[in-house]
Structure formats: C-alpha cells, structure tokens
Amino acid sequence: MVRVVEGNLSAGQYSFGIVVSRFNGIVTQQLLRGAMDCLLRHGVAEERITVVHCPGAFEIPHVAKQLAGNDHVDAVICLGCIIRGETPHFEYIAKEVSRGIGQVALDTGVATAFGVLTTENLEQALERAGAKAGNKGWDAALSAIEQLNVTTQLKGVKH
Ligand code: INI
C-alpha cells in the first residue's frame, strides 16, 4: 500500500518567526499584516510569534538563520519586496535572497517560507500585498503551516 504524507493546516501547536524587511515598507507592512492574519486565524497564539524587522531584502537570510537557530522557532516566514530599477541591482539581490532563504532551510532543517515579492514596479507589488492578486504574506504563512505539518510527520515515518 502506498504511504502518503500530506500536511494538514493545524498550526496552534507551533511557534513562528517572521522576518520582514523595511525597504519598500509600504508593501512589506501589508505582507506582514497578511502573514499575521493567517497565523492568528489558524489558531496561533500571539505569544508564539516573533517578528523581526531588518533593513532590506538582502539581510533577510541572515536574520532567518538566527531565528531558525532559536529553539522556540519551528518555522521562519520571510517577507520582503524587491522592485526592479534601472540597474542590475535587482537581479543580484533577488538571486541572493531566494538562494539564502532556501539554504537556511537546508542547513538548519527548519521550514522557511518565501514571501519575498520580486516585481517590475510598485503597482505589481501592491497588487500582491492585499489588493487584487491577494496577499503573498498570507500565502507564505499558509505554506509555512503546511510545510511544518509535512516535515513533522516525516520525522515519524519509518522506511
Ligand atoms: N532592498 C529591498 O528589500 N528591495 C529593493 O527593491 C532594494 N533595491 O532595489 O535596492 C533593496 N535594496 C537594499 C538591500 O536589500 C540592502 O538592504 C542594502 O544593499 C544594504 O545591504
């Protein structure tokens, strides 16, 4: 018989770290609002949530790694907003941030969720931060909940 491991969305038993960058704060504050809303509405007590503000998206992986090393954090939700400008700066930051956030999960075994917007302009970013394209902070928090449930179950699976 095939053994299927599938995460449910129960969250009340877990603790979460959120790292949110201040750059493009008009957008990232809305991502934070979405992530908090998702966690609270899935039964996570406020006492189980730690929010850390960092300068820009580039700094997110560093903070995420510190949070992941904290025994009281089961998953780290990473929120930021990188908007393309007239130079290749965008590409360097976006690549480094996505690689870094993934690396934190692989290095530490702690689930990370990628809620960093990479958009062409501010309008696209705002659309994804609580307007017509939803709220990617909310989505990232939901992914963190599901991934935590999957990885917790996998720890108990014998091969
Ligand atoms: N940081 C962002 O979060 N988003 C951006 O769009 C951005 N741009 O375009 O420059 C940005 N730059 C700052 C960067 O993340 C670092 O904070 C900075 O380079 C200091 O290390």
- In the residue annotation, 89 being an active-site residue is answered as yes
Q: Please tell me the distance from the alpha carbon of residue 129 to that of residue 150, in angstroms, as a whole number.
A: 27
- Span 5-22, average pLDDT: 96
| 92 pLDDT above the threshold of 80 | yes
pLDDT at position 159, please?
61
pLDDT at position 84, please?
95
Domain ranges of the chain: 16-152
- Span 73-101, average pLDDT: 95
What fold is seen in the domain 16-152? Answer: Rossmann fold (3.40.50)
Whole-model pTM: value is 0.97
CB atoms within 10 A of CB 65: 20
What is the 65 CA–ligand 1 centroid distance (Å)? 18
Coil/strand/helix, residue 10: coil
Ligand 1 in contact with 15 (CB < 6 A)?
A: no
How do residues 104-131 score in pLDDT, each as one tens digit? 999 999 999 999 999 999 999 999 999 9
pLDDT at position 158, please?
65
Ligand 1 in contact with 84 (CB < 6 A)?
A: no
